[in-house]
Amino acid sequence: MIEDFLTKIRRRLPIGAEEEAALRAGMGDVVAVTPGQRVVLHGVELDRCKLLLEGMVVRHKELRNGERQILEIHINGDFVDLHSYPLGKLDHDITALVPSRFVEISHQNIKALCAAFPLLARAFWFSTLLDASIQREAMLTLGRRPAVARIAHLFCELQVRLAIIGKARSDSYSLRLTQIELSEIVGLTPVHVNRTLRELRERGLVTFRNGTVDIHDLRGLRNLAEFTTDYLYLDQLPSRDD
């Protein structure tokens, strides 16, 4: 049930059988949501966190006129609201883009796991820090990258993150985003997104059509986006006296 999360964490930290068993035992109910359903509402007190088992959800903030900025995409194996454990509530909403399933873990169980297993505490901490790193990169994209590089960078990032859990090849992966949702991620109008996708296709780099990203030239796409994996911290983390 939590295999994708373990796959991601074990790439960085040596989670053993004892930690895995305790983590599995601490998990609670599985919850299913529909596309467009708010998973977390900003300002609402929370007493549990959700680990995404299957689907895709987004963090976002909205203006009074209903316009929203998507801040981060979450995929299988991501905790979507782990920040709520220390904070108690979130300052943003989390919404499902596609049918999705979560397993919940209470804040009380997270506290007990952190006390008993320092390596799990570090894994939880790493997960929240990785979210922050991804969002810093997104800020750079929104603030400084030109339109074509914004979309190229997003496609590169998701290819890496999905490949870790076996959901992407180097040349293709499924991405069930509409052009409107894509525009809310990269800070462009839907018309500009459409024009930019056409430019990427005409350059022979990537085609996004019918929920599939087909990458024709991964090196060229990464060069255009100035994409590196540094901010994703894919290597084993330095050892600590746990």
What does the pLDDT average to over 75-93? 97
Tell me what percent of the residues of the chain surpass a pLDDT of 90. Answer: 97
What are the structure tokens assigned to 103, written together? Answer: 């397993």
Position 241 confidence tier, pLDDT thresholds 50, 70, 90 = low
pLDDT at 239 over 90: no
119-150 confidence digits (pLDDT tens): 999 999 999 999 999 999 999 999 999 999 99
Domain residue limits, the chain: 3-127, 146-225
**What are 191-227's pLDDT values in tens digits?**
999 999 999 999 999 999 999 999 999 999 999 999 9
Q: What whole-number percentage of the chain has pLDDT above 70?
A: 99
The model's pTM is 0.96
User: CA-CA-CA-CA torsion for 159, 160, 162, 166, nearest 10 degrees?
Assistant: 110
How is domain 3-127 classified at the architecture level of CATH? Sandwich (2.60)
On the question of pLDDT at 242 being above 60, the answer is no
Q: Which fold has domain 146-225?
A: Arc Repressor Mutant, subunit A (1.10.10)
